[in-house]
Amino acid sequence: AGGVTAYSVWQSQQATQSNTSDDGIEERPVEENTELTPEQEKARKQAGDTLDPTVTADAATAQANGNTEEAVAIYDKAIEQNTDEDEKVALYIRKAELLVSEGDVQGAIDAAKAAEAIAGPVVPVASMLAALYEVQGELVEAARYYRLAAEAMGEEDELGTRQYYIDSADRLEEQL
């Protein structure tokens, strides 16, 4: 039960951080200047906004049919064939989400660590690793990744996400 809760918190933080509701509808007003900075474009790609929808749809269908191995193989093939590093990171994150939803927390950690090896501790990767390590009871690593997620956000914190990561790290360190 604790694992599902920590992962659910991570999912809700990702939705909040991206300013979208769970159904994917943009909640902020449209701005006149719609050009993205290079950092925003990189974050968009890493969030999976440019992934081929057939990859995630095929993996979801395989998972729904009870074939997790096939779903993982679909992600693995897409990762192997993709040359864009940001898209590889997004695919590894999706693979990690799939694995943790099937109860394979260690497999999810391995996939997230592969994403980290490409992109470093960017927010989606560091926050996912923090939640996964927390699920496994590895509080030192969880706190470290919450701090890395906060650092990766920089000083901007309109939604309180950065502070959430700092508070989470503090909370875990108090338990040590």
- How far, CA to CA in Å, does 150 sit from each of 10, 50, 139, 143? 14, 25, 16, 11
Q: In this predicted structure, what is the pLDDT of residue 19?
A: 46
pLDDT value of position 1: 44
Model pTM above 0.95: no
Q: Nearest Cα to 100, choosing from 143, 131, 67, 126?
A: 131
Dump pLDDT digits (tens) for 52-93. Answer: 889 999 999 999 999 999 999 999 999 999 999 999 999 999
Below-70 pLDDT ranges, the chain: 1-37, 39-50
Report the greatest alpha carbon distance in the chain.
Answer: 48
pLDDT at 25: 41
Residue 119: per-residue pLDDT: 95
Q: How far is the C-alpha of 19 from the C-alpha of 31, rounded, in Å?
A: 13
